[in-house]
Amino acid sequence: MLKSDPSGRDGFTSNLGVIAAAAGSAIGLGNIWRFPYVAGENGGGAFLFIYLAFVLAIGIPVMLSEFTIGRSAQRNPIGAFLKLAPGKPWFLIGIFGVFAAFLILAFYAAVAGWTFEYVYQSLTNSFTGKTNQQLSDMFEGFRSGSIRPVLWFFVCMVLTAGIVMSGVSKGIEKYTKILMPVLLVILIILCVRAITLPGARDGLAFLFNPELSKITPETILKALGQAFFSLSIGMGTLITYGSYIRKQDNLGNTAVSVALADTFIAILAGVAIFPAVYALDFAKDIDGFTENVHEGLVFIILPELFQKMTGGYFFAVLFFLLLSVAAVTSTISVLEVVTAYFSEDLNMSRKKATIIAASSISVLGVFAAAAWSWFSGLTIAEMNVFALLEFTTANLLLPIGGFFIVIYVGWFMGKKNVRKELSNEGKLKARLLAVFMFLVRYIAPVAILLVFLNSIGALRFLTG
């Protein structure tokens, strides 16, 4: 089958492979445990309604912008801008993306390691009989009083590197086409179980019945931020994956398919969690974890919830297996960004590039994985290494990268070049090109700028 580059450069061999890989990148831990919490904190159905609007109006155009840059240049994020805009400073956007990917994987693989630990804990039935406080102590003991977070971090990195080292078609595409259906099947099973619980209707009503009175400026910005960050925008992943897309594939349809898949999984996660939380009267407990929501909901509340469900052992194993699969499909895509740069611009073999990328990221990742134990005293601006990496990437690098990507496509790439790529050199009708250009020129930059200003606290005087 044809690859994305007639010169022999590795690439995706099918449109399904593109969608599976890109959706795998977008669908991560944030969809399954961040989305339900943010939706819960910001009005449920009201938040969901606004979130969907932003995915359509902002998320898809920005994703399509990255795909357009990647396929047009057939290069990694840095190489893409060096090729498309030689002699100009646009390559700095690519550097931002590769640097962001490097930092993200350092802490994200640590979180993935937590999910591996909890797959093990659920398999060994370690949650049975533990109270909420004991489960909290169990998590904190694991994170701050053992070497296991570091060991699981290396398990994740080795697994991720092994897949990436195999290449795009035989590694990333092959395994995401397996992992994504597995993720979907597990999530559907959990949804079926959740909605059959007595009293689950209240949870579904909370998620799908919008109460417009709960919409605030903060709700709108949170929905915009979730839509932006859940799609893996701004870190170079989609430019890299776009460079592997075949010239005959429809970029517009691909972007829509990936965004819809990502959104569908987020909604399914809400369906799997909210009915169970409400049916078993755990809704009040979520409010107590506003400071450490990810850990509170996933590693404390849900294990306690599973104990009270019929078949809870089975569903606990399934849930944490789901989290680990979601984590790995994302770590693969992030490592590929750095590997592609090392391989193409530094002229390394894929094997050597993967090993060096994974090894160098792991050096920093150890500090993140052991941020609550060995390096708990190492803080900057009152943040440990893990928190610092998360803040720097989510609040600074990703929105800055996304902002300049849409500025480049909207104002500097040229409408003629954009049309050429979106129409597959005239073979397709780019019916919505005018709408796309309007969104990336005027709407997306303003929206991303608002997310950025809000994330660094500059809009608190408006939303507070």
Reported as a single tens digit per residue, the pLDDT across 389-444 is 988 887 788 888 889 999 999 999 988 999 999 998 878 887 789 999 999 999 98
- How many Cα atoms sit within 13 Å of 209 on the Cβ side? 7
Decide: residue 460, CB within 10 A, 0-12 exposed, 13-18 middle, 19+ buried: exposed
Considering only 149-153, 180-184, 186-190, 378-382, which range has the smallest mean pLDDT? 180-184
Residue 288 has pLDDT above 60, yes or no: no
Q: Note every long-range contact of 135-138, with CB atoms under 8 Å and residues 24 or more positions apart, other chains counting.
A: 135/299, 135/300, 135/303, 135/304, 136/300
Region 268-274 average pLDDT: 85
What does pTM read for this prediction?
Answer: 0.86
Reported as a single tens digit per residue, the pLDDT across 153-165 is 999 999 999 989 9
Region 200-213 average pLDDT: 84
Q: Decide: 25 and 105 in contact? Cβ < 8 Å.
A: no
Indicate the average pLDDT of the chain: 84
The CA distances from residue 291 to 1, 142, 288, 448, in Å, are 50, 19, 8, 25
Report residue 89 as tokens.
């400073």
Region 210-220 average pLDDT: 77
CA gap 128, 422 in Å, rounded = 54
Region 290-311 average pLDDT: 68
Beta bridge pairs of residue 123: none
Residue 275: how many other CB atoms lie within 10 Å: 25
The domains located in the chain, with CATH, are 15-389 (1.10.4160.10)
The CA distances from residue 70 to 96, 168, 238, 257, in Å, are 15, 15, 7, 18
Reported as a single tens digit per residue, the pLDDT across 239-252 is 988 888 888 888 88
Residue 46: how many other CB atoms lie within 10 Å: 21
Coil, strand or helix at 380? strand
The CA distances from residue 199 to 123, 279, 310, in Å, are 28, 5, 15
